[in-house]
């Protein structure tokens, strides 16, 4: 059974952040730690395009027939659908707008058999579904509109009765219902059939849950802390909804075979308690819940895809921190047994509400995009080939004449090559006193945190994380000596991070220091003890300025 249809698309960042160890929860609710982290996804720097006045959702498709995926947004406050045409390299410089009052949900598909992609949009003021018929050249004409329930929010196109004509399902948040409109194959739909669900249905998902080839509908009910499953009667009509309790204020749902048993399962993202509920298919289209796995702040939209190409489904989720600060997207790598890694996190625009994944530049890699509601923008993040991992080298125990071994691998480095040296003056020290510490034939110190000095350059968005690395420091520490953050691997030297360096473990901050001014930094033994024998994530973040940069940063031991 294949993964079916999911909701939406993602992103923006100058760096990535992997938070915590890999924590999974199995069917018996026992926490397990996975020893090896998955390969992180490496992205190019974000490109952001204005989408004025509250872009609500993203749609995707090749609107002009050139073989590249284009984008569309519903911009609520100005009452328009905005089309972004791909330039063939994953850029979107060309755009056009079409007036539709209070648009929200959007989906893309062929509605009239002319081989051109069309668009459907929900109009929340008039309680109608609006059709935009594509001309095949990236332009559209407004078609007919069709009645829905009260305040239609989300919309998905799918062939519910297997007649090769696309049908549509709409969530009606104020009337606690779904509207199903069967397609006529000519750009029009039959009158709605209304199905009751529970309070405040928001985002939905469509996929085959019974194995009969006919797609079912799942919707998150934010007002009743539940999801509703509507089983297809194999003719485009649906049985009465079956409700399953989930966490507090579920915002969205996804469908996919997360335990690799051949049956599609359900994921519900619970915004209030910041968790994910996994409902495992019993093989008959009924479901049993597993213990929720906690997300980060304010989870919203969700997508399910094999992002890293290992044959196992991964999870993408948008996270809103506040309505003024940049949001994030969490990438949870699937383990194939309904469990997932801890997230790789990428910073995006303010209040990301919609996320999609697609190969935007035809390089064979899945890229990401988000619509950012309070940021009035969309963000594009193109994939790139991961950075090479350094090969450890052997090191003499008498003098550090070879490259120190390191367990740290940067997941993102600044993309601009510095043209001047950073404003750090190396301190004077005797390298003979900074011998590498070797434990069980494995070098521990000096340990690299960032081997690349970055001159001060302008930052795209204040508050961004611009560098991330992961490492593990294996204990025990030597019984004597002192420990420093240093710009040199063989001597104590002033270190600088503009503005803040943070050490994380298990989603908690272990250490944080503002290093805008170059300074000698000693890390106390008691402090360092809390870092030992666990996966660490170390980030450099701009805090208040308009530039970022850093010296080399090493963790060294002085006997």
pLDDT, tens digit, for every residue of 390-420? 333 333 333 333 333 333 333 332 332 222 2
pLDDT at 12 over 50: no
Mean pLDDT for the stretch of residues 33-46 = 63
Q: Helices (H), strands (E): how many in the chain?
A: 1, 45
Q: Which of 527, 519, 478 is nearest to 498 (CA)?
A: 519
Q: Where are the domains of the chain?
A: 47-381, 430-558
Give the lowest-confidence range in 22-31, 299-308, 514-523, 546-555. 22-31
Q: Which residue did the predictor score with more confidence, 26 or 543?
A: 543
pLDDT, tens digit, for every residue of 226-274? 999 999 999 999 999 999 999 989 999 999 999 999 999 999 999 888 8
Tokens of 224: 């009743």
Contacts of 261 (CB under 8 A, 6+ apart): 281, 283
Burial 190-222 (b: 16+ CB within 10 A, else e): eebeebebbebbbbbbbbbbbeeebbbbbbbbb
- Per the prediction, the chain carries an average pLDDT of 80
pLDDT, tens digit, for every residue of 447-492? 888 777 777 777 666 667 778 887 888 888 888 888 999 888 878 8
**What pTM was computed for the model?**
0.67
Which residue has 């063939």 as its token pair? 88
Check: CB of residue 209 under 8 Å from CB of residue 217.
no
Q: Which residue did the predictor score with more confidence, 327 or 81?
A: 81
For the chain, give the percent of residues with pLDDT over 90. 49
What is the layout of strands, in order, in the sheet containing 367-372?
A: 47-50, 377-381, 367-372, 352-358
The pLDDT, as a whole number, for residue 65 is 94
Check: CB of residue 74 under 8 Å from CB of residue 105.
yes
The pLDDT, as a whole number, for residue 385 is 63
The pLDDT, as a whole number, for residue 461 is 61
Tokens of 76: 């609520």
Q: How is domain 430-558 classified at the CATH fold level?
A: Jelly Rolls (2.60.120)
* Confidence bin at 297 (pLDDT 50/70/90): low
111/183 Cα distance (integer angstroms) = 8
Superfamily of domain 47-381: YVTN repeat-like/Quinoprotein amine dehydrogenase (2.130.10.10)
Check: CB of residue 377 under 8 Å from CB of residue 51.
yes
* Confidence bin at 28 (pLDDT 50/70/90): very low
Q: Which of 20, 39, 26 is nearest to 338 (CA)?
A: 26
Q: Does the CA dihedral 528-534-540-543 come out positive or negative?
A: negative
pLDDT at 86 over 90: yes
pLDDT at 436 over 60: no
Give the lowest-confidence range in 104-108, 225-229, 324-328. 324-328
132/426 Cα distance (integer angstroms) = 64
Give the lowest-confidence range in 25-29, 201-205, 311-315. 25-29
- Give the three-state DSSP class for 325: coil
Tokens of 144: 């007919």
pLDDT, tens digit, for every residue of 357-397? 999 999 888 999 999 999 999 999 899 865 443 333 333 33
| Count of C-beta atoms within a 10 Å radius of residue 407 | 19
Contacts of 479 (CB under 8 A, 6+ apart): none
Contacts of 46 (CB under 8 A, 6+ apart): 11, 12, 13, 14, 348, 379, 380, 381, 460
Mean pLDDT for the stretch of residues 495-502 = 87
pLDDT at 104 over 90: yes
The pLDDT, as a whole number, for residue 413 is 27
pLDDT at 32 over 50: no
Check: CB of residue 38 under 8 Å from CB of residue 16.
no
First to last CA, the chain: 60
* Gyration radius of the chain over CA positions: 26
């Amino acid at each position: 059974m294949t993964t079916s249809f999911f909701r939406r698309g993602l992103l923006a960042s100058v760096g990535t952040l992997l938070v915590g160890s890999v924590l999974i929860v199995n069917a018996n609710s026992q926490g397990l730690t996975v020893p090896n982290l998955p390969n992180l996804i490496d992205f190019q720097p974000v490109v952001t395009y204005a989408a004025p006045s509250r872009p609500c959702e993203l749609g995707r498709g090749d609107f002009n027939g050139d073989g590249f995926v284009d984008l569309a947004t519903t911009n609520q406050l100005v009452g328009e659908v905005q089309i972004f045409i791909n330039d063939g390299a994953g850029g979107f410089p060309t755009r056009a707008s079409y007036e539709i009052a209070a648009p929200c949900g959007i989906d893309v598909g062929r509605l009239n058999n002319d081989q051109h992609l069309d668009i459907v949009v929900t109009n929340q003021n008039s309680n109608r579904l609006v059709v935009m018929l594509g001309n095949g050249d990236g332009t559209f004409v407004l078609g007919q509109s069709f009645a829905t329930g009260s305040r239609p929010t989300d919309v998905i196109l799918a062939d519910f009765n297997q007649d090769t004509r696309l049908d549509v399902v709409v969530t009606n948040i104020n009337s606690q219902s779904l509207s199903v409109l069967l397609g006529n194959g000519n750009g029009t739909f039959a009158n709605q059939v209304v199905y009751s669900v529970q309070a405040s249905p928001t985002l939905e998902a469509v996929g085959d849950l019974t194995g009969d080839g006919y797609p079912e509908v799942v919707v998150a009910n934010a007002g009743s802390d539940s999801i509703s499953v509507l089983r297809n009667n194999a003719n485009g009509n649906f049985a009465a909804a079956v409700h399953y309790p989930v966490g507090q204020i579920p915002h969205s749902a996804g469908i996919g075979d997360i335990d690799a048993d051949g049956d599609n399962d359900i994921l519900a993202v619970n915004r209030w308690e910041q968790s994910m509920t996994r409902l495992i298919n019993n093989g008959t289209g009924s479901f049993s819940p597993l213990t929720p796995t906690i997300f980060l702040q304010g989870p919203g939209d969700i997508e399910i895809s094999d992002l890293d190409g290992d044959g196992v489904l991964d999870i993408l989720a948008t996270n809103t921190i506040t309505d003024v600060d940049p949001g994030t997207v969490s990438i949870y790598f699937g383990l194939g047994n309904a469990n997932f890694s801890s997230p790789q996190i990428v910073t995006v625009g303010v209040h990301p509400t919609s996320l999609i994944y697609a190969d935007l530049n035809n390089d064979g890699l899945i890229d990401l995009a988000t619509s950012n509601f309070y940021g009035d923008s969309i963000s594009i993040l193109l994939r790139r080939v991961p950075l090479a991992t350094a090969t450890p080298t052997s090191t003499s125990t008498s003098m550090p004449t070879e490259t120190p071994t390191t367990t740290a691998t940067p997941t993102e480095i600044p993309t601009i090559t510095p043209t001047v040296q950073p404003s750090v003056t190396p301190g004077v020290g005797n390298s003979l006193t900074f011998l590498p510490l070797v434990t069980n034939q494995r070098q521990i110190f000096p340990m690299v945190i960032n081997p690349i000095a970055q001159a001060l350059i302008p930052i795209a968005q204040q508050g961004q994380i611009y560098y991330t690395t992961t490492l593990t420091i294996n204990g025990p520490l030597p019984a004597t000596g002192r420990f420093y953050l240093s710009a040199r691997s063989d001597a104590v030297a002033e270190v600088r991070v503009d503005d803040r360096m943070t050490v994380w473990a298990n989603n908690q901050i272990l250490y944080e220091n503002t290093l805008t001014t170059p300074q000698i930094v000693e890390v106390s033994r008691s402090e360092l003890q809390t870092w030992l024998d666990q996966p660490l994530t170390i980030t450099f973040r701009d805090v208040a300025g308009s530039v970022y940069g850093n010296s080399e940063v090493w963790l060294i031991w002085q006997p």
